[in-house]
Amino acid sequence: MPMKKLLFLGDVVGAPARKALARELPVLRAEGGFDWVVINGENSAGGAGITREIALALTQAGADAVTLGDHVWDQRGFDVEIGRTPGLCRPANLPECCPGARYLIVNSEDGTRLLVFTVLGRQFMRQHVACPFATADRLLRELSGEYDYALVEVHAEATSEKIAMGWFLDGRASVVVGTHTHVATADVRILTEGTAYQTDAGMCGAHSGVIGRERGAVLAAFFDGMPRRFPVADGDVRLNGLIVGLGENGRAVEAQRFEKQCAIG
């Protein structure tokens, strides 16, 4: 029997996803009996980055923690705003001098502590970041005794890097979940030492386009390679994520994919 339950939702892409979350999340949270809801908000502002106002709206709708990714600094001024925005953490393996919290510890109603942090992958990614494996290892060790469960998000392009992280943290993190590619993978499972794992949680956003953007613009770019804007798509909005039941000793006991189709408009 799970003792605790958490919902993780993948990258929120633009206004259609924000609108859907504002409407759906309070209901989901109440009906699902989740102790924690964690959401990746790296694409929530027009498809790239986040603002303080949007982060607060996600929190208001029911997110306990908002995580970020490679698009963390895309919105102008967010490097300053991040310092006064609670409930949000930037990727942990960015350079030490970057602003923002590297991790969050979120208490459930009964005081059970969930550690949340994100590491960026290094394969096929733009940023120069510290080793995601060493960073995760160090944080889990440094914070040992300060949390009951740990959710480690691996925001990466390569499936191999994410799977490697799952095995690396098996038995140490309660959940290892991938984000960034915006497509949910069909490999949800509990690894041998009790870590719930999914290579990519998918995204919250319009599935009528290409990973959240209008398909016409993306398709045209594949033909001519010319720079252009990629407006956020708005059809077939779905929330994608992972539900995990947590048991004793920080271990996961149940894990399943989550998907909800949302009415448009």
The site for Fe ion (CB under 5 A) is made up of: 11, 42-43, 69-70, 180
Angle 230-233-49 from CA coordinates, rounded to 5°:
60
Phi, psi of 247 (to 5 degrees): -115, -140
Cβ–Cβ under 8 Å, residues 17 and 207: no
CB 26 within 8 A of CB 61: yes
Per-residue CA distances from 69 to 146, 186, 218 (Å): 24, 22, 21
Residue 115: CB minimum distance to Fe ion, A = 21
**Cβ nearer to Fe ion, comparing 49 with 166:** 49
Tokens representing 37 are: 């809801």
Q: Which of 71, 155, 180, 182 is catalytic?
A: 71
Q: Closest separation between CB of residue 263 and Fe ion, Å?
A: 24
Rounded least distance, CB 238 to Fe ion, Å: 15
β strands within the chain, DSSP E: 4-9, 36-40, 65-67, 88-89, 104-107, 113-120, 149-155, 175-179, 189-190, 196-198, 205-206, 237-246, 252-261
**Active-site annotation holds for 207:** no
Query: Of 17 and 191, which CB lies nearer to Fe ion in the complex structure?
Result: 17
Q: Which is nearer to Fe ion, 112 or 127 (CB)?
A: 127
Supply the minimum distance, in Å, between the C-beta of residue 126 and Fe ion.
Answer: 10
Active site residues: 71
